């Protein structure tokens, strides 16, 4: 395994949640505890080495000479319970739906994610240049996660007690593929505030993929990330909530969702690469506030501003929350004008999470 894979692999389930499961001594959850321990052992080297280096984004993948811009090229493989990738190819553009719901969910999720980025933002696949979108399902035995490894989406089947199959949530698929979009654009370092922004951007566009696919307005959307991942034994709706960080679950086994919703609750520590899955709740909430203020469909204005920011070429890899906030104000100003309601909504959104200081008329590099 190369050092590049260590750096770029990003998983949907936070390590602190798996650690809590791994420490269970309740015989009723013996299977879930064992699955969590295995998942942590599989992921631990990646977390330890991920921040050791931050290579430049990979070069865009060139299209074939006969390819059409915006044409979706996707494939799904079956790892067969092993941890070798990609596995056996089971569905490509020449094949019809198969009898495996997991394969078909992954296939559809790739398509919905491509549709949002191409139809709404003119961004051709993950890298903007028609990169093939690939996924592998049935990875490992009872593997409690899904991840982007720098080249493809990979899905575990879950342990069956706490987590179900990870293809069940369209927001998870959109979230992980957006890590790829970030990799090929802003290439945000996966630690501290830039890492939390990396996670937040994936949550934002994961939510937008689902909303766009379902035709949901801001008011109609759930704003949940990972709805459908928990079994009926868990008291919780999802892994995270953009609308109300800290409220996604409250369970005797998993505990309470620990995400802060504003800077007053900011978590300062070294765990989870400096709290990337925790502090992402702050910019998540800021985006929701912007979208709620503007109303309508979140992908039209709020989503466009965040996409413009991500792909502007002005973000530094280790940009902090304040720098990213300034960059979104600049993006709103450039697209909609300094006196626009969009500009005002962005300033108000960041102010709502304690990051509004100095956001008027900002044009400097983040």
**Residues classed as catalytic:** 176, 277
Count the alpha carbons within 13 Å of 144 in the hemisphere toward its beta carbon. Answer: 29
- Is residue 54 helix, strand or coil? coil
- Give CA–CA dist 206/242, Å, rounded: 11
Residue 259, by phi and psi: left (phi above 0), alpha (psi -120 to 50) or beta? Answer: beta
Please, are residues 262 and 351 in contact by the beta-carbon 8 Å criterion?
A: no
Count Cβ atoms below 10 Å from residue 232 Cβ, excluding itself.
6
φ/ψ (deg, to 5) at 251: -130, 145
Tokens of 217: 């307005």
Please, are residues 231 and 28 in contact by the beta-carbon 8 Å criterion?
A: no
- Give CA–CA dist 128/311, Å, rounded: 10
DSSP state of 154: E
Dihedral sign of CA atoms 115, 118, 120, 121 in order = positive
């Amino acid at each position: 395994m190369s050092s590049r894979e260590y750096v770029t692999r990003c998983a949907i389930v936070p390590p602190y949640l798996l650690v809590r499961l791994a420490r269970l001594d309740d015989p009723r959850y013996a299977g879930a505890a064992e699955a969590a321990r295995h998942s942590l052992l599989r992921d631990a080297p990646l977390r330890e080495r991920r921040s050791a280096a931050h290579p430049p984004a990979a070069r865009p993948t060139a299209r074939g000479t006969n390819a059409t811009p915006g044409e979706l090229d996707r494939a799904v493989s079956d790892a067969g319970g092993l941890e070798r990738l990609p596995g056996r190819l089971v569905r490509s553009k020449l094949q019809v739906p198969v009898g495996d719901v997991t394969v078909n969910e992954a296939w559809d999720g790739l398509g919905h994610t491509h549709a949002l980025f191409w139809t709404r933002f003119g961004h051709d696949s993950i890298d903007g240049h028609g990169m093939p979108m690939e996924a592998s399902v049935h990875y490992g035995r009872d593997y409690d996660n899904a991840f982007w490894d720098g080249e493809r989406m990979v899905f575990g089947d879950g342990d069956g007690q706490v987590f179900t199959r990870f293809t069940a949530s369209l927001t998870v698929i959109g979230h992980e593929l957006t890590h790829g979009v970030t990799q090929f654009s802003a290439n945000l370092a996966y630690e501290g505030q830039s890492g939390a922004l990396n996670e937040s951007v994936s949550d934002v566009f994961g939510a937008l993929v689902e909303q766009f696919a379902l035709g949901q307005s801001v008011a109609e959307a759930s704003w949940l990330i990972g709805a459908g991942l928990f079994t009926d034994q868990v008291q919780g709706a999802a892994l995270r909530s953009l609308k109300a960080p800290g409220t996604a679950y409250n369970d005797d086994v998993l505990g309470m969702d620990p995400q802060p919703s504003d800077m007053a609750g900011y978590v300062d520590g070294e765990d989870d690469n400096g709290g990337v899955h925790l502090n992402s709740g702050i910019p998540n909430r800021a985006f929701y506030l912007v979208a709620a203020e503007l109303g309508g469909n979140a992908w039209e204005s709020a989503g466009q501003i965040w996409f413009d920011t991500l792909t502007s070429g002005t973000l530094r890899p280790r940009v902090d929350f304040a720098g990213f906030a300034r960059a979104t104000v600049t993006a709103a100003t450039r697209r909609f004008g300094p006196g626009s309601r969009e500009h005002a909504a962005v300033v108000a959104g960041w102010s709502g999470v304690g990051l509004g200081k100095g956001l008027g008329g900002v044009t400097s590099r983040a």
